[in-house]
Amino acid sequence: MFNISIVSSSIRPDRKSHRLALYFLNYLNENFLANANILDLKVYDFPIFNETLKKQESPSKKTLDFAEKINSSEGVIIVTPEYNGGYPASLKNAIDVLYDEWRHKPVGIVTVSNGPFAGSQALVSLQFSLWKMKTWTVTEQYSVPNIEKNYDEEGNSLHKNISEPLTEAFLKELFWCIKADKNIG
Ligand SMILES: Cc1cc2nc3c(=O)[nH]c(=O)nc-3n(C[C@H](O)[C@H](O)[C@H](O)COP(=O)(O)O)c2cc1C
């Protein structure tokens, strides 16, 4: 089974997008599809970026831990909300602090909003940043509108007839990229 890390990006007290991190954690582990774990940026609580890990003289344990987890993951799922047409500063912090760790990493993007547009603009800005990092973003996206109507606080889908085919298609593409990456690398 693949090791997959799920980055949960929102650090708001009343965050909703974390429901998707829980959804994918449960889906992957309960169906024995992967060894999944959540990298919760609210728990990491990184300071505002001021230097890349490579150039830090005495990096914090949590930065080293995050770097090691991204590095050792065979694939990553990033769950991000949309804030003012982009992705949150918490996630930019976590992306910018690393470099080599992101390179060629298969990454699936999950966007979330509480409105009808499902974080479609955050997707575009995040894809561009990850492209600059030479990350391998998979082409299947998972975009969730109206979060509170579609997933509960424990990460259960409230409309499995809609979510399951989308989940299968998203994970199929992520797994394909992980396998292809292994064959090349
Ligand atoms: C600062 C801020 C900016 C937002 N901007 C957008 C936006 O541009 N587009 C959108 O669809 N929703 C926007 N929203 C609504 C979010 O989609 C909604 O609050 C969602 O629950 C955020 O995810 P979170 O609860 O995990 O932080 C914004 C919310 C916040 C807090």
C-alpha of residue 55 to centroid of ligand 1, in Å = 33
d(CA 43, CA 32): 26
C-alpha of residue 39 to centroid of ligand 1, in Å = 20
Q: Which atom of ligand 1 is nearest to the CA of 12?
A: 27
pLDDT at 122 over 80: yes
pLDDT for the residue numbered 182: 87
DSSP symbol at 55: G
Pocket of ligand 1 from Cβ distances under 6 Å: 10, 12, 15-17, 81-85, 112-115, 117, 147
pLDDT for the residue numbered 125: 95
Categorize the per-residue pLDDT at 8 as very low, low, confident or very high, splitting at 50, 70 and 90: very high
The pLDDT > 90 percentage for the chain reads 97
Of 116, 110, 45, 106, give the one whose Cα is nearest residue 81.
110
Of 10, 44, 31, give the one whose Cα is nearest residue 171.
31
Of 116, 110, 44, 122, give the one whose Cα is nearest residue 83.
122
pLDDT at 55 over 90: yes
pLDDT at 185 over 80: no
pLDDT for the residue numbered 3: 97
d(CA 185, CA 159): 38
DSSP assignment of 165-176 equals: HHHHHHHHHHHH
- Residue nearest atom 22 of ligand 1, based on CA coordinates: 81
Q: What is the mean pLDDT of residues 10-35?
A: 97
Of 7, 91, 93, give the one whose Cα is nearest residue 50.
93
C-alpha of residue 10 to centroid of ligand 1, in Å = 10
Question: Where does the chain have alpha helices with state H?
Answer: 18-30, 41-44, 61-72, 89-96, 120-132, 147-150, 160-184
C-alpha of residue 182 to centroid of ligand 1, in Å = 36
- What pLDDT digit, counting tens, does each position of 14-26 carry? 999 999 999 999 9
Q: Which atom of ligand 1 is nearest to the CA of 18?
A: 26
Q: What is the mean pLDDT of the chain?
A: 97
pTM flag (> 0.85): yes
- What pLDDT digit, counting tens, does each position of 127-171 carry? 999 999 999 999 999 999 999 999 999 999 999 999 999 999 999
Beta strands at 136-137 and 34-40: parallel, antiparallel or unpaired: unpaired
CB 74 within 8 A of CB 171: no
Alpha-carbon dihedral 79, 128, 175, 118, rounded to 10 degrees: 40
The burial class, CB within 10 Å (0-12 / 13-18 / 19+), for 116 is: exposed
d(CA 38, CA 41): 9
Categorize the per-residue pLDDT at 184 as very low, low, confident or very high, splitting at 50, 70 and 90: confident
d(CA 37, CA 123): 22
